[in-house]
Amino acid sequence: MAYVAPVEDTLFILRHVVPLSEVAATERFAEATGETAHAVLTEAGRMATDVLAPLNREGDLAPARLENGRVRSSPGFERGYAAIAEGGWIGLSSTPDHGGAGLPQVLNQAVGEYMAGACLALQLNPLLTQGQIEALEHHADEAMQATYLPKLISGEWNGTMNLTEPAAGSDVGALRTRAEPNGDGSYAITGQKIFITWGDSDVTENTCHAVLARLPDGVPGVKGISLFMVPKLIPDENGKPGVANNLKVVSLEHKIGIHGSPTCVMSFEGAQGWLIGEPHKGMAAMFTMMNAARLAVGVQGVGVGEAALQKAAAYAAEREQFGPIIRHADVRRMLATARAEVFAARAICLACAQAIDLARATGDPDCAARAAFLTPIAKAWGTDVGCRVADTGVQVHGGMGYIEETGAGQFWRDVRITPIYEGTNGIQAMDLVGRKLADGGAAGFALIDEMQAGAKAAQETLPDLAEAVWQAAESLREATAAMAEASGPDRNAGAVPFLAAFARVLGAHYHLRAAQAGDESRRILARIYVERVLPRILGDLSEARAGAADLDALPDAAFAGAAGA
């Protein structure tokens, strides 16, 4: 069975679980009606299913390659990218002032999931472009916006994000790339960047690099960093791609997965660049881009998890071992748990997107705080679920899952990068327990209040499930209060399990909503989640509150197996 975009599941969530109607009730997104959502998602699902999904295996078997300094894309990728660009999918949520459709993020992220599930390696191209569009909309001057936004939104040009250097990964402030004024308003950018996704392309006519660099008067650390637009081909006076800039692709990384996505080592050799935003404020502009990408990466995890699950379920229905293996209890356990987890992760990501939309449309600080709180959860949990479900898909295939020809292993190899890039999941968790609890956890407690109110509302129709969700939320409330008061080291040591617990309870909350609104299969799926997934918060919360003392006490040598007798 080939991948089929889960349009009906998304529409169900947007009707009954994370209501699109709340977004459409705002003046800014009044056109995002249920009819609009149905039309947009149906067409996006068709494109992903029919055009992109057939390219996924080609990208794995025939990776992007570097020839004479130019990237050559995998077979069919040019055709697939054209379908994305010509369909207007890149600018779905971008400003209409420069050619975007101006639709809400909740629809944009749903479309992103379909494209990622169909062909993650290709979807990475528009994902990075969308992030750059957001950064330019918020931080660039009018002249730069006029030059770049129409081309990026149309898909004629693609955008990249250049942060990482050989000696500056998560510690961005250690970067060495420098920017020297040219005296004409532009800057000479010199340095090397690594892990640059789609750093060159033959599916677009120009590649636009957003590059972090330090001006001569920039102070050490992140406060002295600026952001620059450095195009591969410098636009001429008419905005057309002109002369080649002084930059090049040094090499392509040989990765575990996403082989069709060219991950470049970039060298900037006095390349001409222009400041995005204010000097020394580059991290603020880059974080606009990264925050957009963080939710989108969580959505990628959900998309690949969905694709892996579809393939595993189809195989289980066909594979005969004492009858179809889909009738075996353990196989059914794996598939049912995976289906429940994918639904929960999808709902969490759409809830995050909904909060972003409401914050933008209303300016409500509570909506903004909710979006900020949900972003690290959506990114980390969406990608963790994607990895788990892809791994489960291999297991369902049995020995054939370990054979490359089945394609089951590709989903795991492709999705495994998602917990790492755009801020590792450990960094997401530390952000959650650090900055997002810095106010005492108000946004977190508001979500817990909502979950408990939802459980109370379900007590008459689903009393046992409602009680389990209410009690889990109460345990989460106690842990959130403790985490907000804990020392920094103790918070960080418990950050990942705390995030996992919060995500599991949110997932149960959304399953409970679905069970109240849906048919018998929705209620059964909710029961599977509440009885089989939700109880794991006991271990999560125990670890979250264990502190850092035992971890610090263990000698470094013990990690290498050299502990004393």
**CA-CA-CA-CA dihedral for 525, 529, 532, 536, to nearest 10:** 170
Q: Give the distance, in angstroms, between the CA of residue 486 and the centroid of all CA atoms in the same chain.
A: 29
Q: Is 370:354 a contact under the CB 8 Å cutoff? A: no
Q: Confidence class of residue 170 from pLDDT cuts 50, 70 and 90?
A: confident
Q: Nearest-CA neighbor of 100 among 110, 85, 112, 114?
A: 85
Over residues 437-476, the pLDDT tens digits come to 999 999 999 999 999 999 999 999 999 999 999 999 999 9
Q: How many Å separate Cα 350 from the centre of its chain? A: 12
pLDDT tens digits, one per residue of 349-399: 999 999 999 999 999 999 999 999 999 999 999 999 999 999 999 999 999
Give the Å distances, CA to CA, from 247 to 125, 189, 192, 447, 558: 19, 9, 10, 47, 45
CA distances from residue 63 to 60, 80, 116, 255, 258 in whole angstroms, order as listed? 6, 15, 17, 10, 8
What percentage of the chain carries pLDDT values higher than 70?
99
Residue 503 confidence (pLDDT): 98
Q: How far is 477 from 308, CA to CA, in rounded Å?
A: 34
CA-to-CA distance for 31 and 455, rounded, in angstroms?
32
Sign of CA dihedral 256, 258, 260, 264: negative
Mean pLDDT of 236-254: 95
Residue 330 pLDDT more than 70?
A: yes
Residues above pLDDT 90, as percent of the chain:
92
Residue 229 predicted with pLDDT over 60: yes
**In the structure encoding, which two tokens stand for residue 474, read together?**
């109460």
pLDDT of residue 565: 55
> Which tokens hold the place of 285?
């502009």
Alpha-helical (H) ranges within 398-493 are 408-415, 425-433, 442-457, 463-485, 488-493
Residue 266's H or E segment, with its range, is strand 263-276
pTM summary value: 0.96
**Torsion sign over Cα 455, 458, 459, 463:** negative
Q: What is the DSSP letter of 294?
A: H
The span from the CA of 227 to the CA of 289, in Å, is 11
Largest CA distance in the chain: 77
| 119 touches 407 (CB < 8 A) | no
- Closest C-alpha among 126, 95, 135 to residue 226: 135
Q: Residue 309's pLDDT is what?
A: 98
Question: Tell me, what's the pLDDT at 563?
Answer: 59
First to last CA, the chain: 55
Q: How many CB atoms are located within 10 Å of the residue 192 CB?
A: 17
Beta bridge partners of 187: 181, 273
Please, what are the domains in the chain?
A: 159-281 (2.40.110.20), 425-554 (no CATH)
Q: DSSP class of residue 204?
A: S
Q: 32-52, pLDDT tens digit by residue?
A: 999 999 999 999 999 999 999
- Average predicted confidence (pLDDT) for the chain: 95
Give which of 17, 11, 31, 140 is closest to 361, Cα–Cα.
Answer: 31
Q: How confident is the model at residue 292 (pLDDT cuts 50, 70, 90)?
A: confident
Supply the pLDDT for residue 1: 65
Average of pLDDT values for 480-502? 96
- Does pLDDT of 191 surpass 90? yes
Q: Give me 200's structure tokens.
A: 């060159």
HEC readout, 454-465: HHHHCCCCCHHH
Q: Say which residues have a Cβ less than 8 Å from residue 96's Cβ, sequence separation at least 6.
A: 102
From the list 346, 361, 503, the residue with the least C-alpha distance to 25 is 361
Q: Is 422 a catalytic residue?
A: yes
Distance CA 286, CA 281 (A): 9
Are the beta carbons of 122 and 55 closer than 8 angstroms? yes
Can you give 142-177 as a three-state secondary structure string?
HHHHHHHHHHHHHCCEEEEEECCECCECCCHHHCCC
* φ, ψ for residue 432, nearest 5 deg: -60, -50
Nearest to 274 by CA among 144, 102, 167, 122: 144
C-beta separation of 303 from 124 below 8 A: no
Q: How confident is the model at residue 564 (pLDDT cuts 50, 70, 90)?
A: low
CA distance 218 to 226: 8
**By CB neighbour count within 10 A (0-12 exposed, 13-18 middle, 19+ buried), where does 509 fall?**
buried
| Residue 54: DSSP 8-state | G
- CB contact at 8 A, 249 and 202: no
Of 349, 372, 344, nearest to 295 by C-alpha is 349
Active-site pick, 43, 237, 422, 460: 422
Give the per-residue pLDDT at 289.
78
